[in-house]
Amino acid sequence: MLGLNKADLRLYVIVLGLLIFAPFIMNPFPEGSGLAQFNGGYPDLLQKLVIFGIFAVGFNILFGLTGYLSFGHAAFLGVGSYAGVWMMKLLTMNVIPALIVSVLVAGLLSVVIGYVSLRRSGIYFSILTLAFAQMCYSLAYSVLTPITGGETGLTLSLNDPRVLGASQTAEGNIPAPHFFGLEMSSSATWELGAWSFTFNIGYYFCAIVMAVAFYLAIRLFRSPFGLMLRAVKSNNSRMTYTGLNPRPYALAAFVISGMYAGLAGGLMVAMDPLAGAERMIWTASGEVVLMAILGGVGTLIGPILGAGVIKYLESIISTINSTILHQWFAFLPDGLENFVVAVIYPFVGKGWHLTLGIVFMLVVIFLPGGIVEGGKRIANLFRRKRADDSAQGSASAAPKPGE
């Protein structure tokens, strides 16, 4: 179905299910309970999870397939955001044109950067993309202030000359981004006993975009083009000897992944119409690398998992402060309680990046395949055990003759 083989189709259905039921899955604890802290079912976070998922899937098309490690992908995200906001300022608050322009502009920029950077490979390529991204960041921050808003960032204002649609609503507010009338910020809440689930238009819009983007990524991974990219990764020079020029393939992968990043940037402003230069700083590019690595580079689902885990933990762990910790460990004797809190405190709240760094190092050192490989190892462990059990069972039940 859909041109996918059985395993891919199953994976795709799982992802679709996760996307559709995310408001339930991310909200497992009843409202008001002590564990409600860990609920991530609010629209802001769900949107972020999906948007960074798209970003990471796009990044994976470049890094996972071709092995080119770009340290400048946030530039495309940032450029996409700026393009999206400008589209909303000038044309319409409908998100579709904004997304299209975001993707196109990011694509154009990635053609330029990719064309230059891909002349070199390995560490040189990483440094070149890093240099380009920092250049974009500096420009957006300083010279291009009329276009980018410089330090303050680019926001909508009440006197935007919007061609289609009013520049302000009847109440004198800035109109909200919408999809043919469906406002991104509107959501419905479903109270079910102690639980309350929020269904947000913006989230489901992002989820549909993600579903399409992920489908395209699967098709790309399984296409002859994807095979070509893997060939680039496994042995570039051998590919050259067979008479193929690898550079156009790598460039195409670079541009496609740049467009994914632009799409993510466009979605960001569709949810919240503002763009700032800090989205493009090189550590932001590092973040998407972390996501892909944490989830599992080169696998289909890995980057989505990685993005989900990082963004979820970022939102949850960084809100834990010492008061909450003291509540949790209140059952311990006083001295021990203070000690435990003092030990944990540097790793939560403002210190969340420390946790991220440590987890990331552990993953790179011990689990280069990321979460996906971890899952496989655990699954193998169980499978082997079961296989052993059944082997033993059959052996004891009916010993074969001649053994």
Q: Measured from the CB atom, is 350 or 386 closer to other proteins? A: 350
12 binds other proteins (CB under 8 A): no
- The reply to whether 126 sits near other proteins by the rule CB under 8 A is yes
CA–CA dist 379, 391 (Å, integer): 18
Residue nearer to other proteins on the CB measure, 140 or 275: 140
Residue of 124, 189, 192, 240 interacting with other proteins (CB under 8 A)? 124
| Smaller CB separation from other proteins, 134 or 196 | 134
The tokens for 249 are 């393939």
116 binds other proteins per the rule CB under 8 A:
yes
Residue 131 as a binder of other proteins (CB under 8 A): the answer is yes
Measured between alpha carbons, how far is 121 from 235 in angstroms, rounded to an integer? 12
Q: Does 139 bind other proteins (CB under 8 A)?
A: yes
Cβ contacts of 145-152, under 8 Å, gap ≥ 24:
147/82, 147/86, 148/82, 148/275, 148/277, 149/275, 149/276, 150/277, 151/277, 152/276
Stretch 52-91 residues interacting with other proteins (CB under 8 A): 67, 69, 71
Indicate whether 47 belongs to the interface with other proteins (CB under 8 A): no
Specify the length of the chain in residues: 403
CB of 264 to other proteins, least distance (A): 21
Residue 287 has a CB neighbour count (10 Å cut-off) of: 21
Nearer to other proteins, 15 or 69 (CB): 69
Q: Does 142 bind other proteins (CB under 8 A)?
A: yes
Question: Is residue 151 close enough to count as binding other proteins by CB under 8 A?
Answer: no
The pair of structure tokens assigned to 107 is: 């694509």
Contact flag: residue 120 with other proteins (CB under 8 A):
yes
Among 342, 354, 381, 395, binds other proteins (CB under 8 A): 354
Residue 363, phi then psi, degrees to nearest 5:
-65, -45
Minimum CB separation of residue 388 from other proteins in Å reads 32
Minimum CB separation of residue 138 from other proteins in Å reads: 4
Binding of residue 343 to other proteins (CB under 8 A): no
Helices 282-295 + 43-66 axis angle, to 10: 80
Closer CB to other proteins, 242 or 396, in the complex: 242
For the segment 355-384, give every residue that binds other proteins (CB under 8 A).
356-358, 360-361, 364-365, 368
What value does the CA radius of gyration of the chain take, rounded to a whole number of Å?
24
User: Closest distance between other proteins and the C-beta of residue 31, in Å?
Assistant: 33
Enter the tokens of residue 243.
């008479």
Position 286 contacts other proteins (CB under 8 A): yes
Q: Cβ atoms within 10 A of the Cβ of 73, count? A: 34
Give the residue, chosen from 130, 156, 341, 372, that forms a contact with other proteins under the rule CB under 8 A.
130
Provide the Cα torsion 367, 371, 372, 374; round to 10°. Answer: 50
d(CA 305, CA 18): 11
Based on CB atoms, which residue is closest to other proteins, 143 or 227? 143
CA distance 204 to 208: 6
Q: Residue 219 belongs to what H/E stretch? A: helix 201-222
Alpha-carbon torsion 238, 242, 243, 248, what sign?
negative
309 binds other proteins (CB under 8 A): no
Q: How far is the CB of 104 from other proteins (least distance, A)?
A: 24
Distance, in Å, from the CA atom of 301 to the CA atom of 330, rounded to the nearest integer, reads: 39
* Site membership for other proteins, residue 157 (CB under 8 A): no
Q: For binding to other proteins (CB under 8 A), which residues are involved? A: 67, 69, 71, 116, 119-124, 126-128, 130-132, 134-135, 138-139, 141-144, 236, 282-283, 286, 289-290, 293, 346, 351, 353-354, 356-358, 360-361, 364-365, 368
